[in-house]
Structure 1
Amino acid sequence: MELTPTTVADRLQEVGPVKLSAKAEYACLAVIALAHRHEGGRPVPIREIAEAHEIPETFLTQILIRLKGAGLVVSTRGSSGGYRLARDPMTISMGDVLRVIDGEGFQERPQRRSSFNALAELWERIQASQVNILDGTTVANLAALDRSPDWTI
């Protein structure tokens, strides 16, 4: 197959953006919500996060239990209970969160047959860039951007 700018563009379209499961997206929203309230040190009730982000409460509970098992969040029982981040949001990357929810599989893409090794290498570099961005973006970074009215990524 002859490579033209059009075929390269078509192949890049196949790679596409990072695709998150609903569970992974909800986990990201939850840890960002917890980062907003980290300085106060008080737990955030599940219901508050669920309502603010339109996440089914039972689904959010399952997600937070998983994050707790990984040591990213802690819970407090009782009427004033809820969840809070287990450590400083500057030390928790989005890659950490996604690995807990989706395992290492979040960074894997199905291999496409390509007779052109340069394309295969390009796909690997794109994938590595996505992982680097996720690992280099902390929960605190996103929480700060979320507070800004004019942020763009």
Structure 2
Amino acid sequence: MELSSKLEYALLALLEIANSYESGEPLQIQQIADAQNIPKRYLEQLLATLRRGGLIKSTRGVKGGYVLAREPYQITILDALNCIEGLEATVPSRSTTNSVGTKVIGGVWEEACQALYAVLQQQTLQDLCDSYSKNSHLPLMYYI
């Protein structure tokens, strides 16, 4: 399974919103886009999907913006995956052939997917925030 740019941008947006959760102040689209370097038009679509999925709430007006719908520790990475990619992305597809080799490979693939989803179910936005704050002071290394 590969991390899609759609899911990565959604997680970055959720991370930004989660980092400001304690203040209670909603974040505006432009603030999130600037902080995480996400194209604004793309971010608008992602935030609408996250809102429909119940992970964030929006408020209108001058002081409006986006806040988490639940505490950061209550939103898992698997929740975000299900919201952005849909349920079909979380269920391994079945092969149409019924050979012994296909069944063996399918069994291993299903076990690997279950392990991945178990990790994604355990990791929350709070875990991302904690890791972010722990690593944010480290300088970035640029190589040419």
Amino acid at match of 2:121: D
Counterpart residue number, 1:123: 109
Question: TM-score w.r.t. structure 1 length?
Answer: 0.78
Amino acid at match of 1:64: L
Q: Distance in 1 between matches of 2:15 and 2:69?
A: 13
Q: Distance in 1 between matches of 2:93 and 2:109?
A: 10
Give the alignment partner of residue 74 of structure 2, picking from 65, 74, 91.
91
- For residue 142 of structure 1, report the CA deviation from its aligned partner: 0.7
For structure 2, the 5+ residue unaligned runs are 137-144
Counterpart residue number, 2:49: 66
Q: Distance in 1 between matches of 2:80 and 2:69?
A: 13
**Which string of whole-angstrom CA distances, capped at 9 and with x for unpartnered residues, describes residues 12-61 of structure 1?**
xxxxxx31222111111111111101011100111111112221111111
Counterpart residue number, 1:5: none
Q: Distance in 2 between matches of 1:28 and 1:75?
A: 17
Amino acid at match of 2:17: L
Counterpart residue number, 2:63: 80
Give the alignment partner of residue 126 of structure 2, picking from 137, 140, 144.
140
- The ranges of structure 1 where at least 4 consecutive aligned residues each deviate by more than 3 angstroms after the TM superposition are 108-115
- For residue 110 of structure 1, report the CA deviation from its aligned partner: 5.0
For structure 1, the 5+ residue unaligned runs are 1-17
Amino acid at match of 1:131: Y
- For residue 103 of structure 1, report the CA deviation from its aligned partner: 0.5
1:8-87 to structure 2, matched below 5 A, reads: 18-87=1-70
CA RMSD of aligned residues (A): 1.8
Question: TM-score w.r.t. structure 2 length?
Answer: 0.83
Q: Distance in 2 between matches of 1:26 and 1:59?
A: 9
Corresponding pairs, count: 133
Report % sequence identity.
35
